[in-house]
Structure 1
């Protein structure tokens, strides 16, 4: 890598730099690296401003907006990416677009970029079990294998999904800055209750996630309705945005629980909110990892999650309950009531477990730097 002049540059390919799981991970890495040695640029596919855009620019990164593969077609897409890559001396291109990542790595190969990384962040995709979908995925895997130099993933399940069982894949832990969550004072809950004009005896059920099919918001609403039928003190806080948000609002009204649901939008105070929740609900249909569950655990907040969430999310704090979606609404409601009674672990135990399991972001930095060839 000696041909590169410091700071070396890495180009990340993402849909948008909003506050999602993969994006938050990238930003955690970005904040904690030495910018005199390594700098990040980004290609995004949304014309809307991302939640992290201002911070990226403040850290010295650049953002190139390119129409998505689906909107401009593969030939035009590859040409646009190749043009950007050819005009910059990138040490690596790191694609986070899952099954589409072969197109950015193809562009990088055409541009002479030595490190071409495909990163799997999911263990499924919508309608992925049909014959046409399986054939498409097989072709996309072949493109990735022909053009990428490195494969990485957030979990074994995500790696197998995108690259197959026999591929050599490096698991990059979705580490977080644990101290951002453990340093929040006990007053955070009171401040959230005051902000939302809620009574002190309310039971806060929290969820953080994009309003998309995989997050299973309709199931959350059904569970919430069951809880409210038993006790009106339950309140659901939904954090995030996405294409299904209006549908979910309409469904909450249809179920008669809209007054017990707050839509908080995209937030930059997740540690404060996680500390305010009585429990965290995450019944995803599929997940590559589920970084928000380890954020919840770092705040000492009990979680009830679907068994589609990888078990590696369990930080060993007795805060995780995995439950099949086939168990039914009543079983989920009962597990939620039990989880709220869980004892909150001490800050020292939280720090110790996260470090031991390799999910403290500062322990993850060397692995990422090695991936890019930075010493």
Structure 2
């Protein structure tokens, strides 16, 4: 029997929160029973792996590149090709409304909208457009998913209770504490074992608040001169943040790593994790950091649903940089000699990707068979 092919609609396939979740699922799902294909507009590091796993990538221009009419026309071609997809699963937040509408018009029987955020991104005009398409989600989606209750409340409003919370799971075994990995990371960047290394993984966009990360680390570095900051990711604000690091006199101790496929290894080389995001759905990066035994200083704007171990300390963004620096420094120094991986706690909280993949496999198969 042929595998059920599920069409995942995404903006791009670079390393990011929801992209990491999809790929974690794809690696663990029973691909003899379910296969993933993608509609994507922006290239990324996951493309070659997707094709190696048997997935098909339909590349179409994004709404912001050629406008909604070109995007809709290209999407329609994918949705109406034969054999038709039985399930469309959209990860584009409020833009999912457009995908759901077109999938319904194309006669796709199962249409899943998936919320990964708690706030619109972009300027006012972009947000108005998103809200316009967001109104199309509930009338056209057959099923609602979210990464957290907060993400469901934002996206679905009065219908939030209908949403299934699909936890942003990981493979805990990939994040086991490793002295070998720690040493190799520090060797790569010329950092001594005594150096206090802080880090962040995320796209360089306003949401992730790299501007504040650099301000906090500037204060921290004055308190602990033998310290460094590793920033993994790419994005539109990367060059601006490089320039800011130089202005702050931090060029020698802030390392911009670009897009990385070895995040579990990088986390081993760190002593603390800074995460002052303006808003989040449920950041898989914080689950990964906890699984690696890394203490985290995070913004209170992030749902407490992500705090599955005592390693997370949340502070208001209104707190001074001094308070953030002192908290991060204190956590790192206290945790460093006794670092262990709380993998059992991560799994017990429901964040083991194998459990999620098993559930999702059965869910997809149930949808496909109910529509035969």
TM-score, reference length from structure 2: 0.93
- Whether the 8 Å contact between 1:193 and 1:199 is mirrored in structure 2 is yes
For 1:26-105, what aligned pairs fall within 5 Å after superposition? 26-46=22-42, 49-87=43-81, 88-105=83-100
TM-score, reference length from structure 1: 0.92
- Whether the 8 Å contact between 2:264 and 2:288 is mirrored in structure 1 is yes
Say which SS state the counterpart of residue 261 (structure 2) adopts: coil
In the alignment, what sits opposite 1:337? 329
Given the superposition, is the C-alpha separation of residues 135 and 55 from structure 1 closer, same or farther in structure 2, using an over 3 Å criterion?
A: closer
Give the Cα–Cα distance (whole angstroms) in 1 for the partners of residues 15 and 121 of structure 2. Answer: 21
Given the superposition, is the C-alpha separation of residues 266 and 283 from structure 1 closer, same or farther in structure 2, using an over 3 Å criterion?
A: same
> Out of 325, 331, 334, which is 2:317 matched to?
325
How much does 1:111 deviate? 1.6
| Deviates most, 133-142 or 272-281 | 133-142
For 1:126-165, what aligned pairs fall within 5 Å after superposition? 126=121, 138-165=131-158
Give the Cα–Cα distance (whole angstroms) in 2 for the partners of residues 163 and 310 of structure 1. Answer: 17
Say which SS state the counterpart of residue 264 (structure 1) adopts: strand
- Whether the 8 Å contact between 2:91 and 2:115 is mirrored in structure 1 is yes
Q: Which runs of 5+ in 1 are unaligned?
A: none
How much does 1:163 deviate? 1.1
- Whether the 8 Å contact between 2:308 and 2:346 is mirrored in structure 1 is yes
For 1:296-375, what aligned pairs fall within 5 Å after superposition? 296-316=289-309, 318-343=310-335, 344=338, 346-347=340-341, 350-374=342-366
Given the superposition, is the C-alpha separation of residues 253 and 135 from structure 1 closer, same or farther in structure 2, using an over 3 Å criterion?
A: closer
In the alignment, what sits opposite 2:178? 185
> Out of 196, 199, 208, which is 1:206 matched to?
199
How much does 1:141 deviate? 3.0
Say which SS state the counterpart of residue 13 (structure 2) adopts: coil
Given the superposition, is the C-alpha separation of residues 53 and 356 from structure 1 closer, same or farther in structure 2, using an over 3 Å criterion?
A: same
How much does 1:134 deviate? 7.6
- Whether the 8 Å contact between 2:120 and 2:127 is mirrored in structure 1 is no
Give the Cα–Cα distance (whole angstroms) in 2 for the partners of residues 175 and 259 of structure 1. Answer: 35
Give the Cα–Cα distance (whole angstroms) in 2 for the partners of residues 26 and 56 of structure 1. Answer: 10
Give the Cα–Cα distance (whole angstroms) in 1 for the partners of residues 27 and 96 of structure 2. Answer: 24
State how many pairs are aligned. Answer: 363
> In the alignment, does 2:7 pair up with 1:14?
no
Say which SS state the counterpart of residue 281 (structure 1) adopts: strand
> In the alignment, does 2:223 pair up with 1:227?
no
How much does 1:135 deviate? 6.2
In the alignment, what sits opposite 2:170? 176
Give the Cα–Cα distance (whole angstroms) in 2 for the partners of residues 268 and 68 of structure 1. Answer: 25
- Whether the 8 Å contact between 2:61 and 2:70 is mirrored in structure 1 is no
Give the Cα–Cα distance (whole angstroms) in 2 for the partners of residues 74 and 137 of structure 1. Answer: 11
Say which SS state the counterpart of residue 101 (structure 1) adopts: helix
- Whether the 8 Å contact between 1:74 and 1:103 is mirrored in structure 2 is no
- Whether the 8 Å contact between 2:100 and 2:111 is mirrored in structure 1 is yes
- Whether the 8 Å contact between 1:302 and 1:342 is mirrored in structure 2 is no
| Deviates most, 52-61 or 227-236 | 227-236
| Cα deviations by residue, 1:78-119 (Å, 9 ceiling, x for unpaired) | 221111121142121111111101111122112211111111
State the 4+ residue runs in structure 1 displaced beyond 6 angstroms: 132-135
In the alignment, what sits opposite 1:125? 120
- Whether the 8 Å contact between 1:109 and 1:147 is mirrored in structure 2 is yes
- Whether the 8 Å contact between 1:11 and 1:42 is mirrored in structure 2 is yes
| Cα deviations by residue, 1:51-92 (Å, 9 ceiling, x for unpaired) | 101100000001111001122222332221111121142121
Given the superposition, is the C-alpha separation of residues 134 and 19 from structure 1 closer, same or farther in structure 2, using an over 3 Å criterion?
A: closer
How much does 1:140 deviate? 2.6
- Whether the 8 Å contact between 1:9 and 1:89 is mirrored in structure 2 is no
Q: CA RMSD for the aligned pairs?
A: 1.8
- Whether the 8 Å contact between 1:115 and 1:372 is mirrored in structure 2 is no
